[in-house]
A and B are shown apart, each in its own frame.
Chain A
Amino acid sequence: MMKAICKYFKIFIETSPVPLLWRGVWVRFLLLIVLTSFVLPTNKKITIWMIGDSTMCQYDSSRFPLTGWGMPFAEYFDSSVTIENKARGGRSTRTFIAENRWQPIVDNLKEGDYVLIQFGHNDESKSYPDRYTTPEDYRKYLIKFVTESRNKKAIPVLITPVSRRKFDSSGNAIETHETYSKIVHEVAEQYKVPLIDLDQMSIQLLQQYGPENSTLLFMQLEPGENPDYPLGIHDNTHFNAYGARHIAELVLQGIDHLHLDLAGRIVHAKK
């Protein structure tokens, strides 16, 4: 049987109109087409665009151990993924747009790219009028990020603002973004946007660490402990390298649970 097939194939090759020299190349070319049609969908190069505030952004090593969760987050993807962390400290949805940080991203979005959106800390801070964004405007700007991403066939993902470290007197981690997290939920539901409830997830993480040990996740340094912060620092909003990694882990878990195509690009070690 095998012999017969081989013989038939030989006759086919010998009688085909393709010049002898090109036959091997031709076969290889066809093979390449067939193979890449299976491989391409998962290996297509994409970019994850990250927009948000100081809890997400990139920091220079001169501010170490201060770390935005976007920094460790970038360590977990395969080579098909480029991370563009465009988050900036102190920015609200409003100022991020007003400073023309959003339009250049829209201009560069490609089909299949992801846009991770996490704002709230500065939008909700009434004591900083230069950052403050009313709830109505916050909603409006989130919708703008979502619809303009989708116009470019990119995939927006809404993320509720990561929790601040705050416990009540009986040691329960409490909600610190009530109004603004709720707005993210509403926009996600109304526009059917994948949602990662980082606020809730991080509250659970803080609860797991408890009132004392949760300081280990944040920028909490004694005077003289670290040369970059000689006076010490007690910050319940910004994370150190250890805390930022834990927050990144929560977002990665969120991506897994949403069954986004992106989940297939996370590098998992074998069990």
Chain B
Amino acid sequence: MADKEVIAYPETGWGMPFHYFFDSTVTVDNRAKNGRSTRTFIEEKRWQPVVDNLHEGDYVLIQFGHNDEVQTKRSYTTPDDFKANLEKFVNESRSKKAIPVLITPVARRKFDAAGKIEETHVAYTQLVKDVAKKLDVPLIDLDAESQQLVQQMGPETSKYLYNYLLPGENPHYPAGHADDTHFSELGARKMAEIVLHDIPNLHLELADRIRVVKQKEKK
């Protein structure tokens, strides 16, 4: 981990708890980097090394959108390019006999005045779905499912899912923090659980590699 990421803690990506859920036949190689769009991920030569190392039967979980969709960001990617890049990830994974899985971008915490959660990825979530349909790729609609969870917790309690810290609470954020995009340990785990629960629904072989634990009954 780089210094910047250490100091970012307790900010937690959902890939971090996700890797605890599988048995010893699975290696989770989390190549996600914050701030990256499909375009910058490819431009920075982060994708090609993945392709080079893909083996038959590997899975490629693909979740982008947050940095693609913001026009004011340097990482902005046009809808057309976003689709083309997703197709590239899918096709190149398949050419190595790996199995791509498309994931819609996880929800931001945004409520309207009536306390109803708002969709913050309208256009780009739809593009992910379009590509999944066109190329017949297994799809996890994390956007919709995470919105459901955030809605269920409501405007106040849902803050616990995200990296909200009071001033003086945490040495890494002395002035406090209020982030409606990045998760706490709690939110990251809940998002990872959503993705995990969808894997059996998609009838992926990966489902057989989810850890099976015989839990002791509590006395």
Of the candidates A76, A228, A230, A271, the one whose C-beta lies within 8 Å of that of B174 is A271
Which residues of chain B are near A61, meaning CB under 8 Å? 20
**Which residues of A have CB within 8 Å of B193?**
225-226
**Measured CA separation A65–B188 after assembly (Å):** 11
Q: Is A3 an interface residue (CB 8 A)?
A: no
Stretch of A7-15, A35-43, A111-119, A239-247 that contacts chain B: A239-247
Interface contact B171-A242, CB-CB below 8 Å: no
Q: How far is the CB of B134 from chain A (nearest CB, A)?
A: 33
Q: Which residues of A contact B17 (CB under 8 A)?
A: 64-65, 241
Minimum Cβ distance to chain A for residue B206 (Å): 13
B169 to A249, Cβ gap below 8 A?
yes
A233 within 8 A of B: yes
| CA distance in complex: A216, B160 (Å) | 8
Q: Which of A227, A231, A242 contacts B184 (CB 8 A)?
A: A242
Residues of chain A within 8 A of B10, CB atoms compared? 72, 245
Among listed B69-77, B102-110, B208-216, interface-contacting one: B208-216
Question: Bound state CA distance, A225 and B219, in angstroms?
Answer: 21
The reply on A229 being an interface residue by CB < 8 A is yes
Q: How many residues of B contact A (CB 8 A)?
A: 31
Query: Closest CB-CB distance, A77 to chain B, in whole Å?
Result: 9
| Measured CA separation A266–B170 after assembly (Å) | 11
Our pick among B20, B160, B171, B196 for the contact of A76 (Cβ within 8 Å) is B171
The residue that A231 contacts in the complex, of B157, B173, B210, B215, with Cβ under 8 A, is B215
Interface residues of B in 176-219 (CB under 8 A from A): 184-186, 189, 193, 196, 210-215, 217-218
Residues on B with beta carbons closer than 8 Å to the beta carbon of A253: 168-169
Determine whether the beta carbon of B172 is less than 8 Å from that of A267: yes
Question: Can you list 13 pairs linking A and B with CB atoms under 8 Å apart?
Answer: A72-B9, A75-B9, A225-B193, A229-B213, A229-B215, A233-B215, A233-B218, A240-B185, A240-B186, A241-B189, A245-B10, A252-B171, A267-B7
Extra inter-chain contacts (10) besides given A228-B215, A267-B7, CB under 8 Å? A64-B17, A226-B21, A227-B21, A228-B213, A241-B17, A241-B186, A242-B160, A245-B10, A268-B172, A269-B173
Q: A residues bordering B, Cβ < 8 Å?
A: 61-62, 64-65, 72, 75-76, 213, 216, 225-231, 233, 240-242, 245, 249, 252-253, 266-271
